[in-house]
Amino acid sequence: MNPPFSGSIRDQAQLWAIRLGDDAFDDWDGFTAWLEENPVHSAAYDMAVAHDAAIVETLRAAPRPIMPVVQPVPSRVSRRAWVGGAMAAAVAGLVGFATLRDTASPYVVETGPGVHRTVTLADGSSIMLNGGTRLVLDHTAPRRATLERGEALFTVRHDDRDPFELKVGGTKLVDVGTVFNVVRDASATRLSVSEGAVVYAPDTDAVRLDAGQALIAADGARPIRTQVETTSVGAWRSGQLVYSNALLTTVAADLSRNLGKPVDTIADVGGVRFTGIINLDTKAADPIAPIAPLLGVRAQRNALGWTLTRPDRAPR
């Protein structure tokens, strides 16, 4: 029988259970507020504690301990004795929390410039990271992720009861059975969908993007929805960058991420627009040389990479 609460509440309860297992835990007011926020929170917490207690019993039955035993700290419980049975179960499960702590904490997957990496999640979903990307995942919340910077292609197994959520640039995205690509630059988010649908900022703007749609959301501005060829979504995997009326500052950022070396623009070039397809040759001695004329600029080599300038001038 399914529990009478959502996957999100289940994940929150599991996180509270883990946090209470930490000897340094002192956020009792926060825990109390969470319990009082919704009547089902207490039941979700009890279930999380019971689940971890069962794991503890399994570990105790093993022929060899996998971690040293951590003694409970009863004084922590006395501060909120009214919580009752849930607190008692939390103390009884401290060994289990300590054992699970390392695998339950959020973890970072990061790629260097020009490096690709694919991560497969427990539910079979996959995330392919482009170069210069930082992604935060959590073993206790496998249907949640945060893209802090860079670019990633998400292939998500849909679950109506527990939708996949991605946080990016302070905004949340929710999948509706989806393959979608997300780019997070210094001050903007770009999202494009090749299969299924994504809801951008469901709690505020609630912009639904179906296959063949995209948006650009600069920080502090309303998102702008556009059309996109589904075959171009995630085309960076095969060395293609596809643009429609894109700023050269955007193109330069993408080139930096894919080539592994910084590509900058001078002020009067960054605002130029470009529409077209760039085929990258990352093995070439100077991969920017054939691209610059296509962009209508001059590529000037510098100590680290390139600077894009007007054809008739050098960078300052």
| This prediction's pTM | 0.64
Q: Is there a domain that residue 2 lies in?
A: no
Please tell me the predicted confidence (pLDDT) of residue 136. Answer: 95
Q: Would strands 171-175 and 179-184 be described as parallel, antiparallel, or unpaired?
A: unpaired
Coil vs helix vs strand at 255: helix
Answer with the residue of higher pLDDT: 56 or 303: 303
For 228-270, how does the pLDDT look when each residue is reduced to its tens digit (9 = 90+)? 999 999 999 999 999 999 999 999 999 999 999 999 998 888 8
Residue 273, domain CATH: 3.55.50.30
167 and 200, same structural domain?
yes
Burial 274-291 (b: 16+ CB within 10 A, else e): beeebebeeeeeebbeeb
Residues 220 and 299 in one domain: no
The boundaries of the domain holding residue 74 are 7-104
Which domain-ending residue is among 192, 212, 232? 232
111 and 170 fall within a common domain:
yes
Clarify whether residues 160 and 175 are in a common domain: yes
**18 within a domain of the structure (yes/no):** yes
Token look-up 């007011």 returns 29
